[in-house]
Structure 1
Amino acid sequence: MTAQAEVQAEVPIGMSWWPRQQTIDLMMPASESEFAKLCEVCSRLDIRHMSRPHHPCCKPLPCSTPPIQRRYEVGITLGSVGDIKSRRLDCDLCQLIAKCLDKEPSDVSGTCRMTQSREFCTFKLPRNVEVQDPSITHHHLTQSVVIFDTSTADQFQGPSLPWELKERDTQRTHYILWLQAKARSYVELGDPTANTPQTEQESLATIGGRYIPAQVNPYLLRAWLHQCESKHGKGCRPSFPLSLERTRVPTFVIDVIQSCLVYTPSQCRYVALSYVWGTAAVYKHLRENTQDLRKAGSLLSLPIPATIRDAMTLVHAIGERYLWVDSLCIIQNDLEMLQAEITRMGSIYSKALFTIIAASGNSADSGLPGVERGSRAQVQKALKFADCELLPVIDMTPGGIDDTPWARRAWTFQERILSNKVLVFSESQVYWACRAAVHSEERALEGIRVIERLHLSFPQKYAIDCLSWKPLQPSKYRLLYDDLLSSYRQRRLTYQTDMLNAFNGVSEILVALQDDKFFWGLPGSLFSYAMTWHFTGHSARNHVHVPVTGSRGLKEMVPIPSWSWAAWSGEDLNHPPFLHGGRSSWVRPVIDFYLVDTEHQLVSIKEWPWQDHPGNDIHASWREQGPHQLPSLTHQSLSQIGCLFFWTSLVNARAARRWRVQGLRRVGGVEYILSPPSDFRSPSHYHSEIIQQDFIVVAAGGARTLILLAIEWKDGVAYRVGTTDVDEATWVRMEDRQWRLIPLG
């Protein structure tokens, strides 16, 4: 640190030592404070012009016009890879580029070039800024980009491992280094002077890059939270549905000051933690140790995983007191409490002050990079010149956290979706995201009023935008359900018994928003549509049993019914098949469904009235007259919890069953073709067989189409094995149709 930083007093905050600072931005280390040295080639760059971080524009937003007429259309050629690496010892810029090239599968004959700028976002200044030129409507924030062009040779000769060559197209352009101008000054967000009028020049000086220190700055994080709470208004924390407002708060939270568990106080402000358990030994809250965990200081001496310990440190450092963590705030061997808390996950995360996301690391012991000293590698080397500094952009694709173990786990899906505000710890820096703003350690953009096209993405952004906390029309609700379900099923689960539990928080919110009810993962208001789900890719019944508790307190292990998507999984849990929430956007209900509930009573599933669409002119000629009185549930095989009962049309038909194969491996989902011609042949990349199969009608689609389930029977109960559709006229012409009561397990 510089001499100024070295003399700053240090005070213990929480369980760690944090430097007391008057400003948010940290100075560069003294070893990097000297002016950058450039070689003869790089010295020809117009550094002053390239380091200009913002460009005024008088056009209305949204604006697609380049911010400036670029001086270099294709950039300045910096030489071949070999040339740049030979100059790395004598040129700081070449050294930065060479480090990036060391990570690339690059041959020495490839070349590099630097473009003058690349648009990053457009923004407006705060309303209290005195604008010198009223005609300027917004500014463009830009970055300089170093581009690597591979050799045009047909054969790639670069230093790369064989599997790297397969994974990357080496004959293309790579953006290998982005540079941004460092903000010349920065005012702490909590400073009252920030609310006084400023000139445009002074305000723009606070916008730009920011040096990332080895240890995260809690004052910056506190400033993000303060700005959100004081300036973003109700839109950033939407009003919850009344049913959610009445939901009981978590039973326990961690008091980070007393370092122990406490019963959640009334009107509690708490921070939640989203992390990956992984293979690390996670200390759990059990019935046997619950009294010990409530003793002051108990968490200081217990083997708490590093991620949880760092979260406790961080919460204390930013001035908050309570933290919610699943492994400690839920008694893990208390089934009744476990189920109760799981059903409240939606409200737990949505009502949290914000959620800490541990997006780096693969276990609970990985920690939060930047909280403890030495936990974050310092890789940012600045280029300092007489009148500016250029900083490498650390996260060129921040959406890359989608590839982390955290983003691939099923349990963390609802934790991200349901959190209104998140503090994301990546390997290299920290991000803040709420409904009104996105901030990062390396970019000082807090003084900007409106940001357009900000290239900072986070997982499931579409679904988050759709969760407006207001009831949706059926069509939009269906799209939201599809998006949430499909995204969720792309994630991995260690235990298939958690398939429904890990989605329960999402369904809890949808139930409250839409005044709906879910049945084994399917929304009741869209039940016919949701019944027609299907996979793209191979899947099979997982035969998972889950514990169910009735109102009388009796516990049963019940199989997930075959008609629920939760009863099906792919063979490769690391690469699950893609799940579609329904078979057609025009699905409409034509069947009355009844379900056996936890009290072994039949309950009617109430669906929404469906709006008119081209399929509504179906004359229902497939229907047959017959008894509609459901029997009493007296036989055990017919009283299984989760079993559906309904009257419908059934046909045993000749059908072709086929699936796509790659070599000897099945890669596609099962398809059914009713009444195939005698000379039926599938393409060579399909395996097919002719079978006799029972099919039943479960819904209607557009253009006089019926949607069918393929079923098989066991002990008088039908089970789903697939889905298909057929033209109504074709179905009516089929022989031996029956109008039958179906028990679907």
Structure 2
Amino acid sequence: MASEFAKLCEMCSKLDIQRITHLPHPCRELLPCSTSPNVGRYPAYIALGSVGEIKSRRLGCDLCHLIAERLDKEPSDLSGECRITEISEFCNFKLPKTVEVQDPSVTHFHLTQASVIFDTSEANLFQGPSLPWELKSRDTRGTHYILCLQAKARSYAEARNPTLVSTQTEQEFLGTIGGRCVSVQVNTQLIRSWLEQCENKHGRDCRPSLPLPVEQAREPTFVIDVIQSCLVYTPSQCRYVALSYVWGTVPVYKHLEENTQNLRKTGSLHSLPIPATIQDAIILVHAIGERYLWVDSLCIIQNDLQMLQAEITRMGSIYSKALFTIIAASGDNADSGLPGVRRGSREQVQKALKFTNCELLTVIDVRQTPGGLDDTPWAQRAWTFQERILSNRVLVFSESQVYWSCRAAVFSEERALEDVRDIDQRLFSFPQKVAADCLSWEPLQPSEYGDLYADLLSGYRKRRLSYQTDILNAFNGVSEILAALQDDTFFWGLPGSLFSYAMTWHFTGHSTRNHVLVPIVGSNGLKETIPVPSWSWAAWSGDSNHPPFLHAGDGGPVRPVIDFNIVDSKHQLIRIKERPWQDHPNDGVHPLWQEQEPHRLQSLTQCSHSQIGQLYFWTSFANVRAVRRWRVQGPHRVGRVEYTLSPPPNFQPDQGPANYRSEIVLQDFIVVAARGVRTLILLAIEWKDGVAYREGTVAVDEADWLQIKNRQWQLITLG
């Protein structure tokens, strides 16, 4: 800017800057509060003119220049109107206990910001501008936020507002609230203060301890000593930081059996081609005064299968026990680095308008980028799903600033809110929706546990994997923590205590068998390559927009009606112990479709097949004339396969909507679970060498199943 203070045109001079930069507004309502601070007190907005008018004023007005810069990034209609809100609610909070409030009826305060809005509601056939978060739909009608402004933070005493501070505390420096200038280099002392505040003020609720079995046995084998710049065996009670990043397609230097001795030499990491993201993480950890860092590519011997399997099963513990996790959300590969750690790695994107007694800063919140963090490569990667939700604290690096998120607070470089307490974070929260909000650290009831598992599975399967062989490994940390919390055992991604319920998954869209083979180390220490069993969701791949869905809801809870047995890694047959279903008053009444005396299982020496992961169980089986139906788009199948048992005699294939196809088939079905009282859940199966394989699911009325005459009680081997 040409002068020290901002220049405003005649139109923008009409704005009451004092109102826009007004510090917190007291409120007497109880939280959560729906009262906007400007209702009945200020105009809803002030018109700034059309896009053409604003652009014509850009050289003589600093505010018009800022708005025009945003409009330049998108196609715009010069006749579209812009307006600015004088007061826009940002968040609700309570002041620190040290601040005395003269009015005892004041319960909280509203912090505000101003927003420039592009109004397209009256434009015909308007084609722009599309703001970043609207680029997907290109639906540009209505109104759009162009620019947000916030007052630069001032201390409470500096504000001299009698409703906020008493005479006694007026001269004291009580911290600041509002906007903060973001420099081109990360303020490591600020990051350190966030960690100290979390450790000293948030208490145990912010970082709960893990269940005892995990707490005792789960430590990473290696960590990086950032002072000695080498790998070391993890010290007892180690205080370490973890890194969550995207490997991408660039070469990543890995810890292998042949270089393990070299990596443990002091200073070795200085001379090795370590990716930039890991280098920056080492610099950052050292700068904030910590010593140890855990990074998967260096702290796990990648070609030691036994160690690799052991460490993968510890992922839940590794991330949840970390002091905090650095999230590299800004890049698409391991060489992208952490913006702001080294000089020249981050641009100055924040702008300022300085006036005689206040300063306005532009808001650079990551949620103004396309889709926020949800659209970054990091957020779309399957491995990072568990790394985020299992981390108690995260430090998120976006392109323009750094965020801190723990279970008690959210901080950012651009907003000074560290000294306030009880922030209502509805509009100021960690910029990504995660299932961690629902993750309990206490044992859950079966229904709550089932809902949480379903949500976590759905969220995980929306993400992408580079290698399908990792499909279970990248979910293993979630499984580990859930198993510890619920005293449970997982089998190929399914919780044992809810096994029947977990068996009822189906994709809402098209899915196909992926025939993934996974390496395991057997009880004899030898490596085996095992196919993922067809009954596991991990054996199937589908559109990430249509993840697996579990049967539940209208028909009541899913309950176990079959005794499942599985071949474990030691080639022993063990029974899967489910929690009994106790919600139905007639529980214990023998269903008509079930044999009174199921035959005992044969021993594995008598079974012709005993592959790891196979299920053995007695159930009701029938070969049924059924309708197989699926949705198509052009020549491709896009929907999941659906079955209807016993179609009417006059049914003709392909009846129904034009985008559906159907055919009559003779299909084998088996009962695997029940829903509510009168609904059975069946698996459609195919056979190969005497072993059944899952094809799909269908829910049928128990009475309809009883009408099938060729039903029989049969021992099933499900691979």
TM-score (norm 1): 0.91
Query: Is the partner of 1:660 in helix, strand or coil?
Result: strand
Query: Is the partner of 1:246 in helix, strand or coil?
Result: helix
Distance 1:80 1:342 in 2: 57
Q: CA deviation at 1:673?
A: 0.7
Letter in 1 for 2:258: E
Q: Which residue of 2 aligns with 1:549?
A: 521
Distance 2:486 2:198 in 1: 28
Distance 1:482 1:707 in 2: 17
Q: Which residue of 1 aligns with 2:427?
A: 455
Q: Which of 96, 114, 119 in structure 2 is aligned with 1:144?
A: 114
State whether structure 2 residue 208 is matched by structure 1 residue 242. Answer: no
Deviations 1:201-244 (A, max 9, x none): 96787110001100010000000000001111111111211111
Letter in 2 for 1:372: R
Deviations 1:20-52 (A, max 9, x none): xxxxxxxxxxx6881100011000001111111
Deviations 1:681-727 (A, max 9, x none): 23222111111100110001124000000000000000000000100
Asked if the contact 2:38/2:88 (under 8 Å) is kept, the reply is no
Deviations 1:441-472 (A, max 9, x none): 00000011111134234477552132231111
* Residues 77-116 of structure 1: pairs in structure 2 closer than 5 A: 77-116=47-86
Deviations 1:410-431 (A, max 9, x none): 0001000110000000111100
Q: Which residue of 2 aligns with 1:743?
A: 717
State whether structure 2 residue 476 is matched by structure 1 residue 491. Answer: no
State whether structure 2 residue 210 is matched by structure 1 residue 210. Answer: no
Query: Is the partner of 1:82 in helix, strand or coil?
Result: helix
State whether structure 2 residue 321 is matched by structure 1 residue 351. Answer: yes
Distance 1:611 1:722, change over 3 A: same
Distance 1:253 1:591 in 2: 46
Q: Which residue of 2 aligns with 1:118?
A: 88
Q: CA deviation at 1:184?
A: 2.1
Distance 1:393 1:641, change over 3 A: same
Query: Is the partner of 2:559 in helix, strand or coil?
Result: coil
| Structure 2 residue runs without a partner (length 5+) | 158-165
Distance 1:477 1:333 in 2: 36
Q: Which of 703, 707, 710 in structure 2 is aligned with 1:733?
A: 707
Distance 1:529 1:203, change over 3 A: farther
Letter in 1 for 2:111: L
Letter in 2 for 1:222: R
Distance 1:418 1:197 in 2: 46
Q: Which residue of 2 aligns with 1:6?
A: none
Q: Which residue of 2 aligns with 1:251?
A: 221
Q: Which residue of 2 aligns with 1:639?
A: 610
Asked if the contact 2:366/2:373 (under 8 Å) is kept, the reply is no
* Residues 518-557 of structure 1: pairs in structure 2 closer than 5 A: 518-557=490-529
Letter in 2 for 1:665: H
Q: Which residue of 1 aligns with 2:645?
A: 674
State which drifts further: 463-472 or 334-343: 463-472
Q: Which residue of 2 aligns with 1:578?
A: 547
Distance 1:93 1:118 in 2: 18
Letter in 1 for 2:331: G
Distance 1:635 1:200, change over 3 A: farther
Q: Which residue of 1 aligns with 2:679?
A: 705
Asked if the contact 1:649/1:737 (under 8 Å) is kept, the reply is yes
Query: Is the partner of 1:611 in helix, strand or coil?
Result: coil
Aligned residues: 703
Distance 1:40 1:675 in 2: 77
Letter in 2 for 1:403: D
Asked if the contact 2:584/2:677 (under 8 Å) is kept, the reply is no
Distance 2:399 2:251 in 1: 22
| Structure 1 residue runs without a partner (length 5+) | 1-30, 188-195
Letter in 1 for 2:402: V
Distance 2:135 2:374 in 1: 23
Asked if the contact 2:130/2:140 (under 8 Å) is kept, the reply is no
Distance 1:452 1:446 in 2: 13
Asked if the contact 1:131/1:200 (under 8 Å) is kept, the reply is no
Q: Which residue of 2 aligns with 1:513?
A: 485
Q: Which of 573, 576, 591 in structure 2 is aligned with 1:605?
A: 576
Q: Which of 439, 450, 470 in structure 2 is aligned with 1:478?
A: 450
Letter in 2 for 1:134: P
RMSD, matched Cα: 2.3
Q: CA deviation at 1:357?
A: 0.3
State which drifts further: 91-100 or 559-568: 91-100
Q: CA deviation at 1:400?
A: 0.8
* Residues 397-416 of structure 1: pairs in structure 2 closer than 5 A: 397=367, 400-416=372-388
Deviations 1:97-116 (A, max 9, x none): 11111223321111000011
Query: Is the partner of 1:713 in helix, strand or coil?
Result: strand
Asked if the contact 1:589/1:610 (under 8 Å) is kept, the reply is yes
State whether structure 2 residue 692 is matched by structure 1 residue 721. Answer: no
Distance 1:316 1:732, change over 3 A: same
Q: CA deviation at 1:628?
A: 1.7
Query: Is the partner of 2:217 in helix, strand or coil?
Result: coil
Q: CA deviation at 1:549?
A: 1.8
